Structure 1
């Protein structure tokens, strides 16, 4: 962890945080999901650096140590794609491997389509490619499914707002570590699906939780609830 370096890249009026390690000729850029940040990729970054790669993990705008956009509610995937291009240009990276997890897979797919000359290859986890377009989740999943709930204007904000950032992250990671889909009853909120005394997953430590909690305490969840849960 100590060998991972941190810097900021100016993208328009925003300063975006970049974590990086290694100095090999091939570069892998890691794109996080939610409720993740650059820190989610720390083990993979160190491993790749040991294998001779340069590994880079940005925090999206409004996430982690990156500046929030002036109007978080207007943030879209297009902004993430523009930010990624600006980061590659600022770091003088002509071509990279893109590694995306969770909703980070979407900008990896779309960037490779829009800027194929800048991408060597794409690796994704958890989300298959789907052409851009309206979500069809409402046709196949009940109203209480977490993604549908979080698309309702103001509902997730009110749900999250009952707890501090560390507790929200704790509850979300517990929910996402289960085999069943997070689905709430009609008069129940998503955060209420986790009892206060539920233990953390075995692979997620209290130190990890403190790190995530501190960074989300800084950034808040306004941008995170727009991308990927845009209204």
Structure 2
């Protein structure tokens, strides 16, 4: 047991600090705050460690060592050129390397969006290290089933699902990178409860197959979610203007590789203590309603599945106080290590 994993001592946390450690692909950047048992926070698309800015001080104040990383391809972490470097096993290896570099033996891992999938895979592949798993927005679905590329290609009829749109190298980059800030503002607004299009508007998750449409065409215009300040948007835009979007988008380009590489774990439940938090207005919780219904089988040690009424996709940013309360309550109930 490391020194930081001794008895929790809630109190005034130390200031957050940036640190960079060696990872399998080169460099892993993370932001750390607090002392105590390690809680690793894994963001989704198109975000960064900054997505956890409300959770870092809350978890630190509750007596935990909270660490939010830039996932491979994002921010100050390395961005390998090979698209295959972004497959799930590689991202899990990054999480494992970060835990070791921090001098820890175990961690609780919490993820949002793609980070939820990465957190779940980390717990599935290394249960000896990742002792509990928190999933935000995207519910756990065990490996297996039909090939993802075929499933997504068949969605939408005359329209193309955004996952398929993202999978073709260079295509989404051509849409996004001429105006990164504007695209991010629209994407965040399209999936936020207070700014998302109404039920009678075209679904922003699809593009027209017939006329070479773009996602941007369906984003809300001239609105900004309440949770996203101009300064927050500056942070996100500044990172992607510097790095480009290819590293982030390469996650989508490995879904069929992951399906093949994880085939031996088909149907495998996560046995560790688990928590799920989603929003009732998040498409992820409706598209994957069957995965939520299957939690008694797929997450047998689930402590709670919470759907926040009227919340969109960006749960820990839209509703930070509620998410912080759920996270700290769950963490406090875990056995101390």
Relative to the length of structure 2, the TM-score reads: 0.63
For residue 147 of structure 1, what is the aligned residue in structure 2? 163
Structure 1: stretches of 5+ with no match in the other structure: none
Taking structure 1 as reference, are residues 210 and 104 closer, same or farther at Cα in structure 2, changes over 3 Å only? same
- Contact map agreement 1:21 1:55 (CA 8 A) in 2: yes
**Secondary structure of the corresponding residue to residue 32 of structure 2:** strand
Aligned partner (choices 59, 67, 71) of residue 60 of structure 1: 71
For residue 238 of structure 2, what is the aligned residue in structure 1? 214
- Contact map agreement 1:159 1:189 (CA 8 A) in 2: yes
Task: Please report how far the alpha carbon of residue 73 of structure 1 lies from its aligned counterpart in structure 2 after TM superposition.
Answer: 5.8
Cα distance in 2, alignment partners of residues 2 and 54 from structure 1: 10
- Contact map agreement 1:73 1:222 (CA 8 A) in 2: no
Aligned partner (choices 147, 158, 181) of residue 166 of structure 1: 181
Task: Please report how far the alpha carbon of residue 226 of structure 1 lies from its aligned counterpart in structure 2 after TM superposition.
Answer: 0.8
Superposed CA RMSD in Å reads: 2.1
For residue 40 of structure 1, what is the aligned residue in structure 2? 51
For residue 51 of structure 1, what is the aligned residue in structure 2? 62
- Residues 62-112 of structure 1 show CA distances to partners (whole Å, capped at 9, x for unaligned) of 101112114246421221111111111111111111111101111111111
For residue 112 of structure 1, what is the aligned residue in structure 2? 123
Task: Please report how far the alpha carbon of residue 9 of structure 1 lies from its aligned counterpart in structure 2 after TM superposition.
Answer: 0.6
Cα distance in 2, alignment partners of residues 6 and 13 from structure 1: 19
Moved more, 136-145 or 114-123: 136-145
1:156 and 2:172 correspond = yes
Cα distance in 1, alignment partners of residues 65 and 18 from structure 2: 13
Task: Please report how far the alpha carbon of residue 54 of structure 1 lies from its aligned counterpart in structure 2 after TM superposition.
Answer: 0.7
1:125 and 2:148 correspond = no
Task: Please report how far the alpha carbon of residue 152 of structure 1 lies from its aligned counterpart in structure 2 after TM superposition.
Answer: 2.8
Runs of 4+ off more than 6 Å: none
Moved more, 133-142 or 107-116: 133-142
Q: Which has the larger radius of gyration?
A: 2
- Contact map agreement 1:62 1:72 (CA 8 A) in 2: no
**Secondary structure of the corresponding residue to residue 20 of structure 2:** strand
Task: Please report how far the alpha carbon of residue 51 of structure 1 lies from its aligned counterpart in structure 2 after TM superposition.
Answer: 0.5
- Residues 128-176 of structure 1 show CA distances to partners (whole Å, capped at 9, x for unaligned) of 1123342133344444222222123332122223x23222221221222
Relative to the length of structure 1, the TM-score reads: 0.90
For residue 189 of structure 1, what is the aligned residue in structure 2? 214
- Contact map agreement 2:105 2:129 (CA 8 A) in 1: yes
- Residues 42-62 of structure 1 show CA distances to partners (whole Å, capped at 9, x for unaligned) of 101110101111100110111
Give the alignment of 1:169-180 within 5 angstroms.
169-177=184-192, 178=196
Task: Please report how far the alpha carbon of residue 190 of structure 1 lies from its aligned counterpart in structure 2 after TM superposition.
Answer: 0.7
Cα distance in 2, alignment partners of residues 159 and 86 from structure 1: 34
